[in-house]
Amino acid sequence: MSFEPLLLSLRVSTIATFLVFFFAMFTARFFSKREFCGKDLIESFFLLPIVLPPTVVGFILLYLFNRNGLIGVILSDWFGIQVVFNWIGALIAAIVVAFPLMYQSAYAAFSSYDQKFENAALTMGASRFRVFWTIAFPLAWPGLLAGLVLTFARAIGEFGATLMLAGYIPGRTDTVPMTIYFAVQSGNNRLAAIWTGILVILGYSAVLWLNLWSKKKMLKYKRN
């Protein structure tokens, strides 16, 4: 039994989580503090991967990132990057499907605390950059952490869009969910059961840790 699928899944989900965390956080920060025409249309677009079947998301990504696609031709001709049938395709799929979870968590986090703390700091001459990192970020951190955990769990379990965009190439695009599916297809239920158990343990551990941390945080808040 090779551990390449697990290593690839961890690499893809870790990079995807890192990128999604910062991009979704700053995007949510911007949208949570501003009202403008067309805001609802843009936010609905951000959340679209939640309601669309993964295969539909995968088909759209395949259309955009294939060698003749709108984005794929630029990456291929200008940078020599091939997305389709490559682990980068798995990374892009994970980013797209995980982004809405992080965005929702970050949006709720930045909207949950009283704006007067930031306004007071700005009135006293603090820069917006300093206000964000010393006030907004610490106050929103519990919600951001919840989104971070959910983003990682969603990214490591991504299957449908990854299959459409990256395909299944052993040693190159065989993430754990892909390995489970094709193990079942080939009749190797034992291998599928082992990888399923590993994913269940990882997912359960992440959710359990988040619940325990949230309860500890709540108890500390009540005591204070």
In a domain, 92, yes or no: yes
Tell me: pLDDT of 16 over 90.
yes
In a domain, 219, yes or no: no
Tell me: pLDDT of 223 over 80.
no
Q: How far is CA 200 from the centre of its chain?
A: 18
In a domain, 223, yes or no: no
**DSSP letters for 156-185:** HT--HHHHHHT---TTTT--HHHHHHHHHH
47-76 pLDDT, tens digit each? 999 999 999 999 999 999 998 888 989 998
pLDDT for res 52: 93
**Which pair of structure tokens corresponds to residue 180?**
């489970």
pLDDT for res 129: 87
Give the CATH number for residue 12. Answer: 1.10.3720.10
72-116 pLDDT, tens digit each? 899 988 988 889 999 999 999 999 999 999 999 999 999 888 788
Angle of helix 87-112 relative to helix 137-156, nearest 10 degrees, comes to 150
Number of structural domains in the chain = 1
pLDDT for res 218: 65
In a domain, 205, yes or no: no
6 membership: H or E segment, kind and range: helix 4-32
pLDDT for res 203: 87
In a domain, 71, yes or no: yes
b/e sequence 116-137, b meaning 16+ C-beta within 10 Å: eebeebeeeeeeeeebbeebbe
In a domain, 208, yes or no: no
207 or 162: which carries more pLDDT confidence? 162
- AA letter at 218: M
Angle of helix 54-65 relative to helix 87-112, nearest 10 degrees, comes to 120
In a domain, 41, yes or no: yes
Does pTM surpass 0.85?
Answer: yes
pLDDT for res 25: 95
* Confidence band for 222, pLDDT divided at 50, 70 and 90: low
123-174 pLDDT, tens digit each? 888 888 888 999 899 999 989 999 999 999 999 999 999 999 999 988 889 9
| Structural domain harbouring 88 | 4-174
